[in-house]
Amino acid sequence: MNQAAGVAVVSVMPPSRGRLTAAASLAPLVWFKCGGKAEWLFEPADEEDLRDFLRDLDPAMPVMGLGLGSNLIVRDGGVAGVVVRLGKPFARVTTDGLRLRAGGGASGILVSSTARDAGIGGLEFLRSIPGTVGGFVRMNGGAYGRETSDVLVSATVVLRSGERLDLMADELRYSYRHSELPPGAIVVAADFSGNVADPAAIQREMDRIAAEREASQPLRSRTGGSTFKNPPGEKAWALIDRAGCRGLRRGDAQVSEKHCNFLLNLGDATSTEIEALGEEVRARVAAETGVRLEWEIQRIGSAA
């Protein structure tokens, strides 16, 4: 279904069985709840639909994946090209022995609870990261001493050209919160492996992680998770605290009082204000400690 109005517009975009929306507001789809529009938002019906669409799409049109928007600032001027969002057809999770296969749109909670039910240990940490498998594979999401690259066997991607490819974990050249996923590639599924574990013990670990999160992070806020990467041997939150930035505000954008590596939208903050607050934190930390913090949050699109 193509929701764009006008024959001229429809004719430049390939046909699809999914949902294609022109000038789609991304704010409702990201945790910060602000930011501009996607030139096009594409929600494919299935993998074949995605492959055909990307194959036939004008090669000049940029493409990016969107998960739950839990690590994103969408700039107020919006995002050029096509933003691909994977819905229910990509949210299935199945197990086979100690292997687990999850669609690129499956949530961390679904992956970890399916692993628990199958007695597969080692994936508990995904319980606490509020993103999708696509986001974990791209970002090397991690918590409590583990990260995606520790448990990922391979990822199935659809390249910008529409070609399908299985990439082994080592081909993604992982480092801390970083992968070398090819530009424009969409992660449609991933295989994980774990160890034999008792479902009750897995549940206890998931409960422990959830309680620890609740105590230390602003989980019900408009936020983007950890704003900056931890520099080697340092904690970003401690440097931010030392630089006196806890609670710092710019409009409705604020450095969280509860966890000062989190930025918050208190209500009507724009993405411009949130990003500018982040830059102010970086400048203050550099002046106070000499450390240049590196953004972990992905900032996409153009300024208003």
Report the distance separating Cα 72 and Cα 35, nearest Å.
10
Give the interface segment with ligand FAD, choosing from 55-63, 190-198, 220-228, 267-275 (CB under 6 A).
Answer: 220-228
Q: CB-wise, 173 or 196, nearer to ligand FAD?
A: 173
Q: Which of residues 107-136 bind ligand FAD (CB under 6 A)?
A: 128-132, 134-136
Check if 296 is active-site: yes
Residue 15's alpha-carbon distances to 22, 50, 65, 83, 257, in angstroms, are 14, 11, 19, 16, 48
Catalytic residue among 107, 149, 226, 256: 226
Per-residue contact string for residues 200-219; x = within reach of ligand FAD by CB under 6 A = -----------------x-x
Report the distance separating Cα 188 and Cα 142, nearest Å.
20
CB 253 within 8 A of CB 277: yes
> Does residue 70 bind ligand FAD (CB under 6 A)?
yes
- Judged on CB neighbours under 10 Å (0-12, 13-18, 19+), 61 is middle
Report the distance separating Cα 282 and Cα 276, nearest Å.
10
Mapping DSSP to helix (H, G, I), strand (E, B) and coil, where does residue 272 land? helix
Residue 189's alpha-carbon distances to 57, 94, 157, 202, in angstroms, are 22, 11, 7, 23
Tell which residue, 285, 244, 279, has the closest CA to residue 263.
Answer: 279
Check if 226 is active-site: yes
Check if 11 is active-site: no
> Does residue 71 bind ligand FAD (CB under 6 A)?
yes
Give the interface segment with ligand FAD, choosing from 113-121, 163-171, 189-197, 224-232 (CB under 6 A).
Answer: 224-232
CA 258 to chain centre: 22
CB of 181 to ligand FAD, least distance (A): 6
Q: CB-wise, 209 or 243, nearer to ligand FAD?
A: 209
Across 52-179, the runs of DSSP E, i.e. the strands, are 63-66, 72-74, 79-85, 93-96, 99-103, 120-121, 142-143, 146-147, 152-158, 164-168
Count of residues interacting with ligand FAD (CB under 6 A): 34
Q: CB-wise, 128 or 149, nearer to ligand FAD?
A: 128
CB 34 within 8 A of CB 269: yes
Q: Which of 36, 44, 65, 122 binds ligand FAD (CB under 6 A)?
A: 65
Q: Which of 186, 197, 243, 293 binds ligand FAD (CB under 6 A)?
A: 186
CB of 75 to ligand FAD, least distance (A): 13
Q: Which of residues 240-299 bind ligand FAD (CB under 6 A)?
A: 298
DSSP summary character for residue 282: H
Catalytic residue among 101, 127, 177, 250: 177
Q: Which residues bind ligand FAD (CB under 6 A)?
A: 31, 64-72, 86, 104, 128-132, 134-136, 138-139, 141-143, 186-187, 217, 219, 223-226, 298
Indicate which residues carry an active-site annotation.
177, 226, 296
